[in-house]
Amino acid sequence: MRERVVAACDGASKGNPGPAGWAWVVSDDARTAARWEAGALGTATNNVAELTALERLLAATDPDTPLEVRMDSQYAMKAVTTWLPGWKRNGWKTAAGKPVANQELVVRIDELLEGRSVDFRYVPAHQADGDPLNDFADRAASQAARVQEAAGSALGSPQPPPSPDTPKAAAPRRKAPRRTGSASSASSSTSSSSRTIKAKFPGRCLCGRSYAAGESIAKNAQGWGHPECRTADA
């Protein structure tokens, strides 16, 4: 038995029902698409597209190789892992006695799962940092639904464009520059040196002129004096 293969599948319907498509992707490193395929379904529901994507993936992979399938569809995953055993016991009827929806697809998937080792893993859709394989399958299915054309690695198709439904990762916030101690000290010094007071006693400025008590004076490099002399000295 070969080493496990990691894959993802997804379906899309633009209107539900509306133009629909499916896609699957297989990876060698659990992150990067090694091969993929997408196709159109005409007008279909989202559930049909999701189940079709799973059916095509199972049909395209080796049944002897363990498979991990990543999906963002709760319906498709529960249909084949939780509800299917009960549907089979009830003759393909729901607990309410109604026919199982999309029965033909579910029966086909059940046949493809027979005797296989398949691990289903749910991954949320349209996340900025979400699962890269599921994101690839989502984009490929959406493109197939829009253009209604087949695509894939075997056809040499380019990778599907980004989905407008997936938010972009937030840009890292830049920190404001820290104010250094010297800048703070300089600001404090400037504030202190620019302060003026009323002289309590008469005195003489360094310019040689005297000043009277009560006159405005300012601190100079060599003592107290006229504010304009401090400015000239600075």
Catalytic residues: 10-11, 50, 72, 126, 138
Query: In the block, which residue shows the tokens 């009960």?
Result: 86
- Burial string for 128-149 (b: 16+ CB within 10 Å, else e) reads eebbbbbbbbbbbbbbbbeeee
**Cis-peptide, bond into residue 164, ω within 30° of zero:** no
Between CA 19 and CA 12 the distance in angstroms is 8
User: What's the helix, strand, coil split of the chain in %, to 5?
Assistant: 35, 25, 40
Question: Rounded to an integer, what distance in angstroms lies between the CA atom of residue 2 and that of residue 53?
Answer: 23
What is the residue whose two structure tokens read 């319907």? 13
What radius of gyration do the chain's Cα atoms show? 37
